[in-house]
Each structure stands twice: as C-alpha cells, then as structure tokens.
Amino acid sequence: MACLLRICALLLLLVFAPAQAAVRQIVLYNYYDAPPFVTVPGQGLTYVLADQLNRLGSGRFHFEVVVMPRRRLDLEVVRAESGWVVPWANPLWFGDASRQRYRWTPAVLRDTDWWLSRRDKPLQLSQLKEGGSLQFGGLLGHRYPDLADAIDSEHIKRYDAADYGSSLRMLLAGRVDFITMPASVTVWMRREYGAQFPRLLLQPRNQSYERCLFSPNGDAELADFLAQSVQQLAGNADWQRELRAYQSRDPVQ
C-alpha cells in the first residue's frame, strides 16, 4: 500500500511539475519610487499593474516588482537579455525613438510635465534657452533632452537629487531655481507639501506623452503578452477605476 501511494505521488509530480515549471518569473523593474507609482513600500500603481499582469498571465508569467534607481536600471536592461519589463517609460527617454532597440507596448498611461519655480524668483521660459545663472534640480540618472545643450555649455547648472521629494525640497529651500516634475507625481507632492505649494509657480513643459512598457527585443513571447495585456486593460473597468483613483486633476487648478 505504501509503495502504491509513493507511485501515485510520483505520478502527480510528473503531471503537475511541467505546468509549474512553465510559469516564467518576470522582474518588473520600477525606477519611479514616488507616488502614484509607489505610494508606500509595496503599494502604488506599479503594484496594481503587477497584480493585473499576474491575473492575465496566470499559468504563464509571474511578475515581481523590483524598485531601483535609473542608473542601475540602465545597467540591468543591458545585462539581462530576457525576463524583465520596465513600466511607465517612453522610447525617447531610453534612446529608442525608432522603437527598434526594445519591444514597446501601446500606451498604458498618458502624462505631461511641469516646470516648477518659486514665485519670488519665477522662471521665464525664455531663460531656458538663454541660460545665464540658472540652477536646475534634476534627478540622478534622468535625461533632459530639452536642457541638454544649455547644461553641456554650462549656461544652466544641474544639481541632482535622489527623488522628486528631495528635488522639491531643494527648490523650496532656494538651492535651485527650477525643477521639473510629471503631472502624475505633482498632484501627490501637492498633497504632501500643500502648505508650500502657494509659493510655487507651475508652467507646462511639454505636450502630453505616452507612458508604455518595454521589454527585451529578443523575448517575443513576453512582448506579445504585454502588448495584448495592455490592450485588454484599456477596456478593463477595474483597471480604469484604479487609474482614476491614482491620478488626479490638473494640479494648477
């Protein structure tokens, strides 16, 4: 009898092991550690996205969020040839305007950016080209193509912070003259620094842009799944409700 039970157990392992082994573990690299993408450790829009992808990929993929700074992310996506995806990105930010280097999904979110300066020293948009003695507060590892020439020629001096909260505090303390911030982040910073926001002037930096997911160019199985998933989420009421909950109205209002 004991022998029969062992044989049955072995048969069960043989039947179910292939299915379990077929589930691919995918790292969801998130380089935005500010709300709404990460609100507190383990929570935020990035984790909601991971849950949705796990639901859609049940039995095929399992996504695990790993938060890391942009500089380290740049190294990881070059080192690892498969098994990862980066959310909330745009091809221009990763030197892939032609979308040939990586596989990109349709837009999962639309966003826009703001210039923030202090009302006691308001930024004149013409100064962005003229430069002068302006001091800009950026984020470590982030690229700013519209400021690149002025920064390279030292017409604008760049001072980096680790995150958006630190960048905003630099501005409020007068250590830099202006910063930039996505609208999706600004509305959350306004909640945290609400008493300080009347001191700030917000001006549009650009037109709205797409935030997409990208994955390795050589991993067609993952890329196809992500593209299909984003299309499904566009029509998913629960996901759209989550997006509305994490997004807010224009912060200038």
CATH of the domain at 123: 3.40.190.10
Radius of gyration of the chain (CA): 22
Residue 224 has pLDDT above 80, yes or no: yes
Residue 116 has pLDDT above 90, yes or no: yes
Give yes or no: residues 124 and 154 share one domain: yes
Give yes or no: residues 214 and 163 share one domain: no
Residue 253 has pLDDT above 50, yes or no: no
Count the neighbouring beta carbons within 10 Å of the beta carbon of residue 54: 15
Three-state SS at 151: helix
**Average pLDDT along the chain:** 88
Q: Per the domain annotation, does 100 fall within a domain?
A: yes
Q: Per the domain annotation, does 251 fall within a domain?
A: no
Give yes or no: residues 193 and 235 share one domain: no
Q: pLDDT band at residue 242, thresholds of 50, 70 and 90?
A: confident
pTM of the model: 0.80
Residue 18 has pLDDT above 70, yes or no: no
> Residue written as tokens 């997004």?
247
Range of the domain at 38: 15-110+209-246
Q: At CA 129, angle to CA 127 and CA 133, rounded to 5? A: 50
Q: pLDDT band at residue 81, thresholds of 50, 70 and 90?
A: confident
- Number of domains the chain is built from: 2
Quick one: pLDDT at residue 131?
65
Alpha helices in 22-163 (DSSP H): 45-56, 70-79, 127-130, 148-152
Structure tokens at 76: 């990881």
